[in-house]
Amino acid sequence: MPISPRLTVVGLVCFMAALPALAATPPPVRIQPARIDAVFKAYDSPSSPGCALGIYQDGRVLYSKGYGMADLNQATPITPKTLFDVGSVSKQFAAASIVLLANDGKLALTDDIRKYLPEIPDYGTPITVDHLLHHTSGLRDYNQLLHLKGYHYEDVTDDDDALEVIARQRALRFKPGTRFEYSNTGYFLAALIVKRVTGKTLAAFAKERLFQPLGMTRSHFRDDHTAIMPGRATAYAPSRKEKGGYQLDMSNWNQLGDGQVQTSITELVKWEENFYSARVGGRALIDAMQERGVLNTGDSTRYGRGLFLDTYRGLQRVQHSGSWGGYRALLTRYPAQHVSIAVLCNRADARPNLADEVADVVLADAFRAAEPRQEAKAPAPATPSAPEPAPTDVGRYAGLYYDEAAQRVVRLLQENSQLQFSYRGSNRPLRAVGGERFQMEGAPLFFAFAHGKLTLIRGEETLGVLERVQPVTLSGDDWKPLVGTYYSPELETTWRIELKDGKAVLKGRAVGTHPLEPTFADAFNTDAGFLRVTRDGAGRPTGFVFSDLRFERKER
């Protein structure tokens, strides 16, 4: 069978949990219009873009409403029927298409992608179709590559542009299956695989196998940025010229898979209902989409196929967000409660946690019931003992730490006997929680110190292990050896390092001009990314690595 044997067990559990007739009665859902509308008060204006909201349960729309304007030129209000681009929420539809083909026997999730995409280099270790869906392929994100190559969202790009820059990459970011790292490349390539296996575009395949059978007659993958779409919201961002005003923020990119689904509040309820009825695709499809990715170590990730699987305030949650141009989208499902919340916006400044704010209102009883259980499940110590004392000398943890895998530097400062996390000019306090562990205030992010290393932890997930490094400062003649022209064969683009006011700046068509901020030896932060200088045996600069892309020095 094309799907993993693990699904025989996982699928049975999910099947039993999802049957309304067998499941325990969910806690009541509180629809309080005044409190719900208050979440969107800042967006409910006839002079600003806004959002549409849908609250669903068991295939019914419990509450839906539009806030703000779909089109500022025409003064068209947002309604539940307004179409929005949902950005990366689209990934679940691409994943469903691949799983349907696997269940049809047309491909296997364990297939090497080069079987369908021979343009992709042989990196020595096969990349499977499942690596693409679970974000464990190691492939660089093609969105970032095209931006670094010099493309902007207002430029027109197509599949050939994306595939070309992906195929030019000489290396992976990591060995397939060893790490989870979100990459739009996987889902763009999944769309190409659908096309090469079926002879149909992902847009045509999804229409035939997903949207039409579910009655989502207006929902579709947009594969032509020039197409007229009646009833679609225009996307906006805050104006750079007029305080309090807005400007257009639309993309002309035509790639599918990682994004480009256009849908509405009135139609998404049909998609959400299918996760319980499995009317389209059967339980095999639903279970496969909600099966967590598994790394080579046997550890599972927080991502299924096109869906994040996590918890919020003690409740199991299945969700994905989306961001494309000025569009913002959130689609969140609470399986045990059979409740889903969809928030679709046409403004780039929409708050990222709107769906959580709505959930806080409508699922208040369920959260209250779940949170004590979560506390009760916390493991108790084997023998009674006093809590570990918090460290008093926090200054010994202050310093600079480097994550080679993620190409990032973390700076910790001591201010008034408190440890602070410093990032781009702002500081966040870290609270001692016992032993050599600290938690960022207001966030579930932990900092653990051991043997001179810093481990970043979120929930049960290790985000990175960082080495302590020695900070450096540069001045005057220290900068001069770095000045010159640098070329990237993978991007086919040239950048320069120049001196400005006695300090080095990075310049390129794609990145603009950014000062180089010294961190440790031959390592620099910029607003555009992290840069490490490479040298020959004599210590002369030979190039640099920018966010793991190699640039070769050509001339001064």
Residues 147-168: tens digit of each pLDDT: 999 888 889 999 999 999 999 9
Residue 36 has what pLDDT? 98
Average pLDDT over residues 2-21: 38
CA 270 to CA 257: how far, in whole Å?
A: 20
Is the model more confident about 12 or about 393? 393
| 422: pLDDT strictly greater than 60 | yes
Alpha helices in 46-114 (DSSP H): 91-103
User: Could you count the other beta carbons within 10 Å of the beta carbon of residue 46?
Assistant: 10
Residue 18 has pLDDT above 50, yes or no: no
**H/E stretch holding 275:** helix 265-277
The whole-number average pLDDT for the span 535-552 is: 93
Least confident among 124-133, 213-222, 390-399, 454-463: 390-399
**Phi-psi region for residue 553, left (φ > 0), alpha (ψ -120 to 50) or beta?**
beta
Instruction: List, for residues 246-264, the tens digit of each pLDDT value.
Output: 999 999 999 999 999 999 9
pLDDT tens-digit series, residues 104-158: 999 999 999 999 999 999 999 999 999 999 999 999 999 999 999 988 888 999 9
Q: Which pLDDT band holds residue 405 (cuts at 50, 70, 90)? A: confident
pLDDT of 2 higher than 70: no
What is the DSSP code (8-state) at residue 128? B
Q: How many whole angstroms separate alpha carbon 8 and alpha carbon 119?
A: 35
N-terminal to C-terminal alpha carbon distance within the chain: 59
- Rounded Cα–Cα distance for residues 166 and 143 (Å): 10
Distance in angstroms (rounded) separating the CA atoms of residues 203 and 222: 7
Q: How high is the pLDDT of residue 514?
A: 92
**Cβ pair 73, 258 in contact under 8 A:** no
Lowest model confidence (mean pLDDT) among 5-19, 199-213, 293-307: 5-19
Residue 556 binned pLDDT confidence (cut-offs 50, 70, 90) = low
Whether 3 has a pLDDT exceeding 60, the answer reads no
Q: Give the whole-angstrom CA distance, residue 440 versus residue 412.
A: 12
Of 452, 499, 446, residue with least CA distance to 476: 499
Q: Which residues are registered as beta bridge partners of 166?
A: none
Q: 16-20, 102-106, 213-217, 386-390: which has the minimum mean pLDDT?
A: 16-20
Instruction: Dump pLDDT digits (tens) for 90-102.
Output: 999 999 999 999 9
- Lowest mean pLDDT segment, chosen from 9-13, 73-77, 399-403, 552-556: 9-13
**Under DSSP, is residue 401 helix (H, G, I), strand (E, B) or coil?**
strand
Q: What is the pLDDT of residue 4?
A: 40
User: What is the per-residue pLDDT for 5?
Assistant: 36
Does 381 have pLDDT greater than 60? no
* Model confidence at 490: pLDDT above 50: yes
Q: Return mean pLDDT, the chain.
A: 90
Treating both helix axes as pointing N-terminal to C-terminal, what angle do 159-167 and 142-149 enclose, rounded to 10 degrees?
90
pLDDT of 14 > 50? The answer is: no
| β pairing state of 339-345 and 453-458 | unpaired
What is the model's pLDDT at position 68?
A: 98
Residue 95 phi, psi dihedral angles, 5° rounding? -60, -45
**Alpha-carbon span 197 to 314, nearest angstrom:** 41
- pLDDT band of residue 25 (cuts 50, 70, 90) is low
Return the C-alpha torsion angle 107, 109, 111, 115, nearest 10: 50
Who contacts 172 (Cβ-Cβ below 8 Å, separation ≥6)? 123, 127, 137, 138, 139, 140
Q: Which tokens hold the place of 215? A: 């009655």
Give yes or no for a contact between 224 and 210, defined as CB atoms under 8 angstroms apart: no
Interval 23-45 mean pLDDT: 85
CB atoms within 10 A of CB 168: 16
Q: What angle do CA 264, 233, 246 make, to 5 degrees?
A: 140
Query: Is the pLDDT score of 387 beyond 60?
Result: no
Alpha carbon distance 214, 110 (integer Å): 28
Categorize the per-residue pLDDT at 392 as very low, low, confident or very high, splitting at 50, 70 and 90: low
- Look up residue 382 and give its DSSP letter: S
CA distance 43 to 99: 38
Q: What's the rounded mean pLDDT across residues 368-395? A: 57
Beta strand pairing call for 60-67 and 51-57:
antiparallel
Q: Return the pLDDT at 424.
A: 66
User: 234 Cβ partners below 8 Å, 6+ apart?
Assistant: 49, 70, 71, 72, 73, 248, 250, 346
Q: Which three-class secondary structure state does DSSP give residue 537?
A: coil
For residue 373, the model assigns a pLDDT of 58
pLDDT digits (tens, 9 = 90+) for 210-254: 999 999 999 999 998 899 999 999 999 999 999 999 999 999 999
CB atoms within 10 A of CB 94: 30
Nearest to 211 by CA among 322, 94, 343: 94
pTM recorded for the entire structure: 0.84
Give the per-residue pLDDT at 386: 43
Distance CA 389, CA 473 (A): 36
pLDDT > 90 fraction of the chain, expressed in percent and rounded: 76
* Domains, the chain: 25-371 (3.40.710.10), 394-469 (2.40.128.50), 476-555 (2.40.128.50)
Q: Which has the higher per-residue pLDDT, 341 or 16?
A: 341
Closest CA to 284 of 274, 294, 293: 274
Mean pLDDT calculated for residue range 1-13: 37
CA gap 7, 162 in Å, rounded: 33
Q: Describe the crossing of helices 91-103 and 184-198 by its angle, rounded to 10 degrees.
A: 40
